[in-house]
Amino acid sequence: MTEAREQAEYLLSATAVRERCGVLLAAAERGATAQFRVAPERLPDVARLVADVTRRRYPNLVVPPHSRWRHFTAGGVERAALVAPGADPAEMARARIDLAIVSVLLDAGAGPRWRYRERETGQVLTRSEGLAVASLRAMEGGLFSTDPANPWRADASKLAAITPEALGEALQHGPGNELAGLGGRATLMQRLGAVAASAPTLFGREGRLGRLYDYWLPRRANLQAPQILHDLLRAFGAIWPGRLTLGGMKLGDCWPHRAIPGDGLVPLHKLSQWLAYSLIEPLAEAGFAITELDGLTGLAEYRNGGLFVDGGVLVPRDPELIRRSLNPASEPVVEWRALTIALLDRFAPLVRHELQLDATAFPLASMLEGGSWGAGRELAFARRPDGSPPLTIVSDGTLF
């Protein structure tokens, strides 16, 4: 293996995310970053807020891990029970993996105007919950399946043929109800289909996403969460448009920042880690022992990041930053996201202290769920009527 490929393998890991984001936080604390300064004295107050939100959302303090499955219960409806009715445990796991992958990859920022009106319940849902329910209902209708008798699957040929028009119809995109980045989402589904078709070892001859269940089955007794992430990053690297490559390998959600020595790259892998978290439950329900959950990191997205900006922990050095439209690849956005990941690690013990829980009872994934994501949303709505993030990001539907 060449040196470049070895470096690429490192950057495609949760370890690299944690280490490189830690380097950036240390630089910020030395005053060596151009975009944000850190105000650590604000962390205890924000930790109390997160603890309060956690107690309100989970009064018994039994908090599940952060995952897409929480969003499928929006409005108190247990929609996960709709998936693959009557299937045996293995097929149920495949169907839930199919759904989780498609739903997570469609879960980029929806924009403030978009709403999803669920015909079956009459609920009107927005943002992540709306996209979750919309994707589930789209799968229920067979949008991703080549088998008319079995809609609960996501197959390569059907994914590769998805058009913006078909996806827009399923997600109720239209005049006055525009979904941000629709074209980017459709392209992502098409690329996902192409990748699934090209990797039968992972996805079977039919190129079904849920065949990852069979790929991981030999490791059922001890499947490590960072290994899930590594496999996902290698499997889906080619779906991300316009991303960096190293040694012939696509690096996904990985970006340059001048405060990082050496290759100057900081990996974040937000959607891939969100997906790894979201596959843990269907695999565990199928009898897998998932270990090293805390080997994954926090998520570099605008609710956790917004918590630290709105909470005064991260302070833009240029006050005009919050009034500019920012490209996701720009240094302010990369710095904001990387500092968010590093701060979540530092922040978790403070929240545990407030709740009088240890890391076993309240791992990082539970803090995200309890937690920092919900508190970030609450602060956003308290600061801005539309609940938008403190930084304005020009999304292409493939990152946030």
Single pTM value for the model: 0.93
- Given phi > 0 = left and psi -120 to 50 = alpha, else beta, which region is 176? left
What percent of the chain is modeled with pLDDT above 70?
98
Residue for token digits 């969100």? Answer: 274
Helix (H, G, I), strand (E, B) or coil at 249: strand
Amino acid type, 308: F
Integer Cα distance of 141 and 146 in angstroms: 12
> Could you read off the pLDDT of 170-217 as tens digits, one per residue?
999 999 999 988 998 999 999 999 999 999 999 999 999 999 999 999
Integer Cα distance of 45 and 65 in angstroms: 23
Question: Has residue 400 got a pLDDT over 70?
Answer: no
β partners of residue 114 = none
Question: Has residue 108 got a pLDDT over 90?
Answer: no
**Among positive and negative, which fits the CA dihedral 144, 196, 220, 8?**
negative
Structure confidence at residue 109 (pLDDT): 76
Please count the other Cβ atoms lying within 10 Å of the Cβ belonging to residue 91: 17
Angle (CA) 374-100-295 rounded to 5° is 65
What's the DSSP call for residue 371? I
Torsion of CA 87, 93, 99, 104, to 10 degrees: 160
> Could you read off the pLDDT of 281-314 as tens digits, one per residue?
999 999 999 999 999 999 999 899 999 999 999 9
Integer Cα distance of 175 and 172 in angstroms: 10
